[in-house]
Structure 1
């Protein structure tokens, strides 16, 4: 063994082996490194910038617009789920921490169901929503 291997602690050697093992199995995540770790940070953007992209791109703009409409279903579902489960928990237990936990759980479950309903309502399974989001990301980088 070399001197550097001997000087490393037991845990450091095992941690590096662990990272290498799982790094090989999840190497496909490197495809997303340009989104997760961009060379320069994205500029600030808001809904007016998104509307500008939607108007400028005839291929991916309508898909992004439809995706944004479907996200409203998720927001409404999260609000309804949070309030209704917290109200039921409060009605039956009068427990503040129970109501708070059920509020959070109801928001998560209601948001998930809302997104599913929106996805089917707007038939997003027929559209390539990821491609439209990637094109928006690239457009935003070029714009900066």
Structure 2
């Protein structure tokens, strides 16, 4: 009883390797689709994305929401960066500070807008990476046959 229960010290990452493998499997799939190739995937257009949205009943609408969320986050980053840089220029007249304020404001604006889009569009209800991987699988099958 004593020898079996005392497994010794285990670091936090070695506690449940199966759970870690399952959680990071989408990243391994992404690397398998994009990196381990002789030729890169052909670029896709908005028309191709719309075709996927129409052809895939589950992941199509999800991909549309993910793309909308990315657009909201990009606008939020731009708005946050310009606002904070404008305030820095107005009150300090320091251009280096304005550049740093733009970078910081962009990061904060992106994070706030992404979380807002996550909540407003319901992106928290599904795995966005899995949706993007489904699109990449579909695109690979379509272009390479």
TM-score tier by shorter-chain length is 0.7 to 0.9
More displaced 10-residue stretch of structure 1: 51-60 or 125-134: 125-134
Q: How many residues align?
A: 120
Structure 1: give runs of 5+ residues left out of the alignment.
Answer: 1-24
Per the TM alignment, residue 36 of structure 1 is displaced from its structure 2 partner at its CA by: 4.4
CA distance in 2, matches of 1:72, 1:113: 13
Structure 2: give runs of 5+ residues left out of the alignment.
Answer: 1-16
CA deviations over 1:19-52 (Å, ceiling 9, x no partner): xxxxxx9985782430441323110112121111
Q: CA RMSD in A?
A: 2.1
Equivalence for 2:109: 110
Per the TM alignment, residue 105 of structure 1 is displaced from its structure 2 partner at its CA by: 1.4
Equivalence for 1:141: 140
Equivalence for 2:6: none
The 8 Å contact of residues 77 and 113 in structure 1, kept in 2 or not, is answered as yes
CA distance in 2, matches of 1:100, 1:46: 33
CA distance in 2, matches of 1:104, 1:134: 30
Q: Answer yes or no: is 1:46 the counterpart of 2:45.
A: yes
CA distance in 2, matches of 1:100, 1:135: 38
More displaced 10-residue stretch of structure 1: 41-50 or 123-132: 123-132
CA distance in 2, matches of 1:62, 1:104: 32
